[in-house]
Amino acid sequence: MKLDVKTHKDLFKSLFTFLRVSTVTNSTVTTSTSWTRFENDVKLFLLFLMDVFHNPPVSLKFKDRRDVFVTGFIEFMNSQNLKIQKLEIHSKNGDDEVVEYVMDHARHVSEVHLGCLTTSRFEYPNRSLIPKFKMEILRIDHSKWVTTWHMTNLFINCKRLVLLDCTSSNLQLNLFFKKWITTPSRLQYAELQCYSPSLSLAGIMTGVPAIRLQRAVVDERVLNHASYLITQQKTGVKALVYWHRFITLTTDFEL
């Protein structure tokens, strides 16, 4: 079931009124003084759904919402041991606090899509590797802050990784591919968008144990340009590394 507050205004207006009245008679339900009435209404609605559907997995999508609400809502979900299946956050502002909070506290979420900008000052320092990132899918639309350390220590075990708008000077991609080879990484697909006139796939793969190919098939599309075959040392899993719009690693290919 998917409900959009803006689309179903009349329904939610009546429901929120009912939930506020119910809250008055239920002292165990608290509201946050730092949240707006609408934000507290959303929290009450979530509690209502959890009670009716017995704690189902929840997908959350925030668009241009205040930092304090986004981080507070995720914190509330975690405190109630509610399962977040998918987390999607979009914002045109520099949401450094939100990105840092998600990196610290949403590592257990199956699918994360960060579509929010960060300021030029933002850095995510080398944090603890525990808890491990267990994401099936991680997508970051504004990845200028991402470094080689993040890719080789935090993101390497995501099953699907999409990093857009990377800063090539922050990344040593050959170390990322070497790490995939030497560890039993779960990563099956990585899509990396980097801009630099001096960047080339041949240069990236220098020093990486790989077989250069002139032909391969990916998604029924024939690649007639150079690609590289790499193999995990511990598992024998093979992946193709190529550059077609984005620098890509995939385990789903044909030769």
Residue 29's pLDDT is 52
**DSSP letter assigned to residue 152:** I
Question: Residue 199 in contact with residue 229, Cβ under 8 Å?
Answer: no
Instruction: Round the average pLDDT of the chain to a whole number and report it.
Output: 84
| pLDDT(7) > 80 | no
Q: pLDDT band for position 69 (50/70/90)?
A: confident
Asked which of 7-16, 28-37, 90-99 is least confident by mean pLDDT, the reply is: 7-16
Q: How many whole angstroms separate alpha carbon 248 and alpha carbon 229?
A: 12
The domain spans of the chain are 8-24+31-53
The pTM assigned to this predicted structure is 0.83
* 212 and 242 Cβ atoms separated by less than 8 Å: no
The pLDDT tens digits of the residues spanning 132-188 come to 888 999 999 999 999 999 999 999 999 999 999 998 888 999 999 999 999 999 999
Residues 46-75: what's their mean pLDDT?
Answer: 82
Task: Tell me the per-residue pLDDT of 186-242, one tens digit each, with 9 for 90 and over.
Answer: 999 999 998 888 889 999 999 999 999 988 989 888 888 889 999 999 999 999 999
CB 219 within 8 A of CB 250: no
Which pLDDT does position 11 carry in this prediction? 46
Q: What percentage of the chain reaches a pLDDT higher than 90?
A: 51
4 versus 76: the higher-pLDDT residue is: 76
30: confidence class by pLDDT, cuts 50, 70, 90? low
- Return d(Cα 231, Cα 243) in angstroms, integer: 18
Split at pLDDT 50, 70, 90, the class of 19 is very low
Measure the CA–CA gap between 48 and 58, rounded to whole angstroms: 13
